[in-house]
Chains A and B, each alone.
Chain A
Amino acid sequence: MTVAAELVARVEAGDRRALARLITWIEDDDPRAHAALAGLYPRTGRAHIVGVTGAPGTGKSTLVSALAAEERKRGRSVGIISIDPTSPFTGGALLGDRIRMMEHIADRGVFMRSMASRGSVGGLSVSTSDAVRALDAFGCDVVFVETVGAGQAEIDIVRTAHSVIVIEAPGLGDEIQAFKAGILEIADVFVVNKADREGADKTANALKVMLDVGNTMKQRRGDGPARVPAPSAAEAGHHGAREGNFPAEAYAPTTDATEWRPPILKTVAAERRGVIEVVDALDAHWRHLRESGAITQRERERVEDEVRQLLGRTLTRRCVEAGGLERYAALVDAVTARALDPRGAVEALIGAWVAQRKEAG
């Protein structure tokens, strides 16, 4: 058996050390990971992938930990990937999300991995989808991916999830942080965390107003996304009366029942309040994605995006390697010196690869 095949067998058998090693290889872009992932691919596509994003300190890690606890109560196994930024100056990273998740450490039904963003262009979203796939093949029913809602790379990652939670918290200034980061559009569920603090209602209201405006504009343009219905009141209440239960609000003014209206939910993640409602909303969204058929479209878009990214990365590497790193550097120098234009350099690089392919027959 090859090293990769052995790893595949171990991951399939539920060996978490093998899963951990596979994720390491994925992060290192090790060819053994590519072989193992090819072997595991048929086993993937079962997990519900949930992206969680928002400004630093809003409570993402705390909420994910609380959501994981609720998912476990519902009998599901959970995978968690938390991504923190790599320092562009030192290349190092401090990965502290685990601090909030240690409550699950003895539970074999929860696997958590911290990842640093590492900064290679396009590399983060590729390695994140591969790591998610590894957890999926391992048998996780739900996979949470936590990212700081900051740059385009993070947005690209959460976009690949089936359901996206965008978190806000009061006390981060009057602005809606997600609006600044341009991530409002991708939310399927809004959470206003730290509802124990003053200003939570104000934040929820500000969100609602902002979303109403955005929605009206979309409707006018007639290009709103094809959305599916939000959980009905009856559904949202199916766990009966509970303590610390916050009312859910669906923001959209539309009466069209085929549209998903992202609910705005208030939580106190640190005390696990309001968490049942968030999992209910995730379940409802997942169900509707499948029942409405929207899942097929999302999945296809996701796959296409991934294939395109991989194509770009793979071709880049092959073209550069075909001519050698020195030639690559010389071409960049020539463009800098205005002796060649950028497209000319690209043609030369592709030419080197084509020539190499011909030689190889």
Chain B
Amino acid sequence: MTETKKIRVLIAKPGLDGHDRGAKVVARALRDAGMEVIYTGLRQTPEMIVEAALQEDVDCIGLSILSNAHGALFPRIVELLTGEGRNDILLFAGGIFPDEDVPEIKRLGFRGVFGPGSDTRDIAAFIRTEIAARGPVRG
């Protein structure tokens, strides 16, 4: 009678970037893959995103940026999460990133980076694999 633990995901759009199609497509796809997806809407500051992640106690955060503002926003989000003692949360990102930036994004702790044309089934599979490898996150 015990259910398997539901994966809770926060999908957020940091900064002033108004491109939200991709984030919505991914949010819906993850719901259809059986996850509980919290969508915060557009124009979120790093502080807002981290606070939402804490209150919702999510397993992972997916950030969507197409405006090339990741250089300032991503490190700040990682810094805030670390300050709250929550760098156990799985991080990944999607949108448009210059190829040369991807290694730096990964070095910050983002385990997956998904560009235009990414298959949403791959995104769902990536989350499952990563979460399974981490063991019980809500211990």
The reply to whether A92 and B30 contact each other, CB–CB distance below 8 Å, is yes
B20 to chain A minimum Cβ distance, whole angstroms, is 11
Stretch at the interface among B50-58, B71-79, B96-104, B106-114: B50-58
Among B33, B44, B86, the residue within 8 A (CB) of A90 is: B33
With the chains together, A274 CA to B8 CA distance in Å?
35
Instruction: List residues of chain A with CB within 8 A of the CB of B3.
Output: 29, 118, 120
Q: Which bracket fits the contact residues of A?
A: 35 or more
Closest B residue to A25 by beta carbon equals B138
Q: Is the CB of A28 within 8 A of B138?
A: yes
CA separation between A241 and B36, bound complex, in Å? 45
Closest CB in chain A relative to B82 CB, distance in Å: 14
Contact B48–A105 (Cβ < 8 Å): yes
Query: Residues of B at under 8 Å CB distance from A?
Result: 1-3, 5-6, 8, 27-28, 30-41, 44, 47-48, 51-52, 54-57, 84-86, 138
Main secondary structure of the interface of A (DSSP, over half): mixed
Which residue in B2, B27, B31, B41 is a CB contact (below 8 Å) of A87?
A: B31
Chain A 25-56 interface mask (CB, 8 Å, partner B; 1/0): 10111100000000000000000000000000
Measured between alpha carbons, how far is A187 from B48 in the docked complex, in Å?
34
Asked if A320 lies at the interface with its beta carbon under 8 angstroms from chain B, I say yes
| B57 A21 Cβ-Cβ under 8 A | yes
Alpha-carbon distance A171/B30, docked complex (angstroms): 32
List A66-110 residues whose CB lies under 8 Å from chain B: 86-87, 90-96, 98-99, 102, 105-106
Shortest Cβ distance from B44 into A: residue = A102
Q: Does A129 contact B (CB under 8 A)?
A: no
Tell me, in angstroms, the Cα distance from A25 to B47 when the chains sit together: 25
Contact A23 B57 (CB under 8 A): yes
Closest partner residue, chain B, to A321 (CB atom):
B1
A352 at the interface (CB under 8 A from B): no
1/0 per residue, CB under 8 A from B, across A8-28: the answer is 000000001100110111011
B interface footprint on A161-174 (CB within 8 Å = 1, 0 otherwise) = 00000000000000
State whether A92 touches B37 (Cβ < 8 A): yes
Is A114 part of the contact surface with B, judged by Cβ < 8 Å? yes
B-chain residues with CB within 8 Å of residue A325 when the two chains form the complex:
1
Tell yes or no: A317 within 8 A of B by CB.
Answer: yes
B138 near A24: Cβ-Cβ < 8 Å: yes
Instruction: Tell me, rounded to whole Å, the shortest Cβ–Cβ distance linking B47 to chain A.
Output: 7
Is there a chain B Cβ closer than 8 Å to A113's Cβ?
yes
Chain A nearest CB from B138 CB (Å) reads 5
Residue in A24, A29, A94 whose beta carbon sits within 8 Å of that of B27 in the complex: A94
Q: Name the distance in Å between A106's Cβ and chain B's nearest Cβ.
A: 7
Q: How far does the Cβ of B32 sit from chain A's closest Cβ, in whole Å?
A: 5
Q: Known contacts being A92-B32, A106-B51, A112-B55, is A99 close to B37, with CB within 8 Å?
A: no
13 contacts between A and B (CB under 8 A): A17-B54, A29-B2, A87-B31, A92-B33, A92-B37, A95-B36, A98-B56, A99-B40, A102-B41, A105-B52, A106-B51, A114-B56, A116-B36
Q: How far is the CB of A324 from chain B (nearest CB, A)?
A: 12
